[in-house]
C-alpha cells in the first residue's frame, strides 16, 4: 500500500485552488446530471493522484503531473488553456475525438500530441481528466 503524500482534505483544498486560479466553471447549477457525474469522476481521479504524490498544483495554479509508468518519469505542466488549445482541435478530422483531445493536451502542456499517444493508460487517465476540466 502506498503511503499518502498529502491528506485527502489538503488535496481537496488544492483542487479547489486549481479550479479558482484557472477560472474553471464548475457551478452545479449550470450542469446537467451527466456533467455533474463527469465532474465528480474527474475530481476523484485528480485528488487520488494528489494524495499519491504524482500530481500537485504549482504556485500559478497549474497542475503538474509526473508520469508513473515510464522507465524515466516525465514531468508535465498543464498551463492555463487559451484559444490555441481549441484551435488545435480544428486541425483534426471531424470524428477524431481522441486525436482532438491529444492535440489540445499537447498545446496546453507545450509538448505535442505524441506525448499522450505514447503514454500508458494509467498516466493518460489523469492527463485526460485535467484536459476535460480545462476544455469542459
Measured over the CA atoms of residue 18, residue 91, residue 67 and residue 120, the dihedral's sign is: positive
pLDDT (tens digit, 9 = 90+) per residue, 11-32?
999 999 999 999 999 988 888 9
Closest CA to 39 of 24, 21, 26, 51: 26
Confidence (pLDDT) at 95? 65
Confidence (pLDDT) at 40? 95
105-109: long-range contacts (C-beta < 8 A, 24 or more apart)?
A: 105/131, 108/78, 108/79, 108/81, 108/134, 109/76, 109/77, 109/78, 109/79
- Answer yes or no: is pLDDT of 89 > 70: no
Local confidence band at 2 (pLDDT 50, 70, 90 cut-offs): low
Closest CA to 136 of 32, 24, 17, 28: 24
Asked if 55 and 126 count as a contact pair (C-beta separation under 8 A), the reply is yes
- Give CA separation, 79 vs 7, 93, 95, 100, 130, in Å: 25, 25, 26, 17, 11
Asked if 65 and 109 count as a contact pair (C-beta separation under 8 A), the reply is no
* Domain assignments of the chain as residue spans, ordered by start: 8-135
Q: Which grid cell sits at 72?
A: 524515466
Confidence (pLDDT) at 59? 97
- Answer yes or no: is pLDDT of 1 > 60: no
- The average pLDDT across 108-133 equals 95
- In whole angstroms, give the CA distance from residue 70 to residue 24: 30
pLDDT (tens digit, 9 = 90+) per residue, 42-71?
999 999 999 999 999 999 999 999 999 998
Closest CA to 4 of 61, 62, 66, 47: 47
Confidence (pLDDT) at 84? 73
- In whole angstroms, give the CA distance from residue 2 to residue 14: 20
Claim: this prediction has a pTM higher than 0.85: yes
Amino acid at each position: 500500500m502506498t503511503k499518502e503524500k498529502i491528506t485527502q482534505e489538503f488535496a481537496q483544498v488544492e483542487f479547489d485552488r486549481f479550479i479558482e486560479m484557472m477560472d474553471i466553471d464548475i457551478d452545479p447549477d449550470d450542469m446537467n446530471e451527466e456533467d455533474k457525474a463527469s465532474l465528480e469522476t474527474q475530481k476523484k481521479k485528480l485528488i487520488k493522484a494528489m494524495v499519491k504524490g504524482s500530481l500537485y498544483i504549482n504556485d500559478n495554479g497549474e497542475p503538474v503531473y509526473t508520469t508513473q509508468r515510464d522507465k524515466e518519469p516525465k514531468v508535465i505542466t498543464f498551463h492555463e488553456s487559451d484559444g490555441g488549445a481549441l484551435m488545435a482541435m480544428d486541425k483534426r478530422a471531424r470524428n477524431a475525438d481522441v486525436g482532438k483531445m491529444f492535440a489540445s493536451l499537447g498545446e496546453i502542456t507545450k509538448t505535442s500530441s505524441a506525448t499522450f499517444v505514447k503514454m500508458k493508460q494509467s498516466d493518460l487517465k489523469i492527463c485526460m481528466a485535467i484536459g476535460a476540466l480545462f476544455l469542459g
